[in-house]
Amino acid sequence: MPALACFVDAAAAAVLPPPSGYALAGDSTLPPPLTFTTTTDGGVDDSDSGNNNWSPSLSSKLFKIDGWGFPYFGVNNAGDIAVRPHGAATMSHQEIDLLKVVKKASDPKCCGGLGLQLPLVVRFPDVLKNRLESIQGAFDGAIQLQGYESHYQGVYPVKCNQDRFVVEDIVEFGSGYRFGLEAGSKPELLLAMSCLCKGNREAFLICNGFKDSEYISLALVARKLALNSVIVLEQEEELDMVVEISNKLCIRPVIGVRAKLRTKHSGHFGSTSGDKGKFGLTTIQILRVVKKLEQLDMLDCLQLLHFHIGSQIPTTELLADGVGEAAQIYCELLRLGAQMRVLDIGGGLGIDYDGSKSSDSDISVAYGLEEYAAAVVHAVKYVCDRRNVNHPVICSESGRAIVSHHSVLIFEAIGASSNKAPSLSSIGLQYLGEGLSEETLADYQNISAATLRGEHEACLLYTDQFKKRCVEQFKQGTLGIEQLAAVDGLCDLITETIGAKDLVKKYHMNLSVFTSIPDFWSIDQLFPIVPIHRLDEKPTVRGILSDLTCDSDGKIDKFIGGESSLPLHELEGHGGGYYLGMFLGGAYEEALGGLHNLFGGPSVVRVLQSDGPHGFAVTRAVSGPSCADVLRVMQHEPQLMFETLKHRALEFCEQHDDDSVVNAAGLANSLARSFDNMPYLVSSTTCCLNALTNNDGFYYCSGDDFSAADSASVVTSVAGEDEHWNYCCA
């Protein structure tokens, strides 16, 4: 139809007069893709500067790395994320190139790597040690500066990350500070008891959470084992069990009470505080506890007061208000005859996830470690001095602040899809005139007229109506799929040319959001996500991240800074993989992760800074759960499943092939490898290499034994590989 030919010319010139860089009337070329550069505030704009004007410092500004990453993360001259394991005290030669760590972990053994499959959690114990020392140093400095007459003695709440090596590192690093542990369940109490056997004898073992007789018995046995356990009453009824069991075991308990303060903050994490919080005793209940202990001649056992305002306390003003209220309760308990000596301020020391240092967000805080410690010490000292009370030992349970920075989740982009419109020549214009109703043709003519007049809003309105009519015709069977595809392509081209089309790409990640970043899915918690390399290149597209699960919620489409997409680099034309890192996720994510679609947890490596040529040593590496592992969790029996499939393979080959035994064995070996591999995707090259290199999946060497001369050497294997059952066919 002549009108269609005219419409093609009009659609190609939909923007009249054409802005710079757009197609002219009658020109079938499309506008060039948008590119990005930093603005003065670290955002992204559409200016067309080339890679020659880009630098790692611009990437650092764009992704706000100097904000949320300080002092542990930066960008080096190669454009890779650099880890500063000792914080601000890290010297330039001590920085660790994160991409080199990922390559070491993921490269096949035959190429000098560890053969681990991504996703990958990289732990930096040096960062963990620095965090603990920094918190201790902040309190020590505030105590000395303000003339506080007691000391700080923190505990790590193991719920934040129960990994054995994380907990053992904290006990080891904190031994000189009498740093202890906090448990909220029986298994957590058991692991805390075991780990603290190697710690400082004065370290606290704070026993929180709901309790039964077995929990209380364990806590009392801990005192028998010379561990400094304190049973904190979360419910008034727990006191009767403590008294009864301690009398039976002839063990004098040390008791604490958790108070429900009136002070609370209004954010998401403040829901656990206030007089309607889940845990703790009201003032009425606290008085009943004191009276009962006095009647039993056990008031001397009450020695600790605990409270928790909520995680991510946004300001030191709110913090000081809550600490001051708790200090008043502490002084009152002393007045009533309790032998109080410890004030446990709970958690709440926040993390600045977006680098904004703002008090108006659940993902940021308006203070640093020094300000936090100074506010706590001042609030306690002020109340106690006014009441003429000796200063208590200050204890805190700052788990998020201790472990968040030390762990980085690495995942790889395996592809990308775009909403970019097809080229004019590929639309299939020859199909457009076939089968269109009169109403649909009228809509088309309206589009043509609106584009020629340069009426963009009217053009979009008619385009939407035109597309809807075509879809209805397709549903009624009067329009074929070729015609519908041509309509879709042309409508996309029109909206893109006008500038109304969303050009954000979807990057497909080898990851499960539900397993590795569950807080994003469940409570919209945002974490910094950044490419760990190519930061010396300008990111030219924006994208959202889509995971492997068969779930529409399996995506990341919200980012720090209020962004709905992330600046990214093109995948095409670049050798090797494209790796992104999620930072500040060392607390809670691993423990909360599920098994949606039976995607298990990531592989894990433990990396220490060294003075060797590579600057780091991998002291421990563990492959993520295999398909067999996650099947066992759901009560399946992989060995029996394999035998069933092997038997079926033999039957099939006997019926259809002369070389039945050989082919059945080949099928069985292929099935065996599938059971033994992680559930995540691998490239065909990796599959072949793994088959040749026999990935044992578990490696370990002592952090004290690694060779500085070859600091990136492969760690040695141990007996853990014997846990894998044998799939080989006779």
CB atoms within 10 A of CB 658: 8
pLDDT by residue (tens digit) across 317-328? Answer: 999 999 999 999
Of 70, 730, 700, the C-alpha closest to 354 is: 70
pLDDT computed for residue 421 by the predictor: 65
* Burial profile 95-125: b = 16 or more Cβ within 10 angstroms, e = fewer: bbbbbbbbbbbbbbbeeebbbbbbbbbbbbb
C-alpha 51: how far from chain center: 31
- Lowest mean per-residue pLDDT among 8-12, 16-20, 205-209, 675-679: 16-20
What CATH number matches the domain at 149-404, 3.20.20.10, 2.40.30.10, 3.30.830.10, 1.20.58.340? 3.20.20.10
- Lowest mean per-residue pLDDT among 353-362, 365-374, 419-428, 496-505: 419-428
Tokens linked to 585: 């996720």
CB atoms within 10 A of CB 423: 12
Residue 664 above 80 pLDDT? no
* Residue 575 banded pLDDT, cuts 50, 70, 90: low
Of 620, 618, 619, 637, the C-alpha closest to 628 is: 637
pLDDT computed for residue 142 by the predictor: 98
pLDDT by residue (tens digit) across 423-458? Answer: 666 666 666 667 788 888 888 889 888 888 888 889
Length of the chain: 730
Q: Name the amino acid, one letter, at 646.
A: K
pLDDT computed for residue 42 by the predictor: 38
The pLDDT of 147-173, averaged and rounded, is 97
12 CB-contact burial (10 Å; exposed 0-12 / middle 13-18 / buried 19+):
buried
pLDDT by residue (tens digit) across 208-236? Answer: 999 999 999 999 999 999 999 999 999 99
d(CA 318, CA 297): 37
- Phi and psi of 278, rounded to 5°? -65, -40
Residue 49 above 60 pLDDT? no
d(CA 718, CA 696): 9
Tokens linked to 113: 């790597």
Tokens linked to 50: 């080339």
- The DSSP annotation for 67-127 comes to HHSTTTEEE-TTSSEEE-TTGGG--GGG-EEHHHHHHHHHS-GGGTS--PPSSEEEE-HHH
d(CA 279, CA 259): 8
Tokens linked to 366: 């308006």
C-alpha 276: how far from chain center: 30
Q: Which residue has the tokens 């041509």?
A: 486
- Lowest mean per-residue pLDDT among 21-25, 392-396, 532-536: 21-25
- Phi and psi of 527, rounded to 5°? -125, 150
Q: Which residue has the tokens 């068969």?
A: 550
SS3 category, 286: helix
Residue 706 above 50 pLDDT? no
CB atoms within 10 A of CB 71: 16
In sequence order, the β-bridge partners of residue 582 are 409, 529
pLDDT computed for residue 702 by the predictor: 41
pLDDT by residue (tens digit) across 179-188? Answer: 999 999 999 9
Q: Which residue has the tokens 């009337």?
A: 25
pLDDT computed for residue 7 by the predictor: 45
Torsion of CA 122, 123, 126, 130, to 10 degrees: 110
SS3 category, 29: coil
Marked catalytic residue, from 395, 550, 728, 729: 550
* Residue 724 banded pLDDT, cuts 50, 70, 90: very low
Tokens linked to 661: 């035994």
pLDDT by residue (tens digit) across 593-643? Answer: 889 999 999 999 999 999 877 889 999 999 999 999 999 999 999 999 998
Tokens linked to 112: 């000098």
Write down the domain spans for the chain: 149-404, 426-498, 628-655+663-684
For residue 17, cis peptide bond before it (omega within 30 degrees of 0): yes
Top mean pLDDT of 217-221, 259-263, 266-270 is at 217-221
The Cα angle at residue 692 between residues 687 and 696, in degrees rounded to 5: 90
d(CA 106, CA 98): 12
pTM of the model: 0.85
Please tell me what DSSP assigns to residue 546: E
Query: What DSSP element (H or E) covers 592?
Result: helix 589-592
pLDDT computed for residue 354 by the predictor: 93
Decide: 142 and 377 in contact? Cβ < 8 Å.
Answer: yes
Annotation says 550 is catalytic:
yes
Helix, strand, coil % in the chain, rounded to nearest 5: 45, 15, 40
CB atoms within 10 A of CB 56: 20
pLDDT computed for residue 428 by the predictor: 67
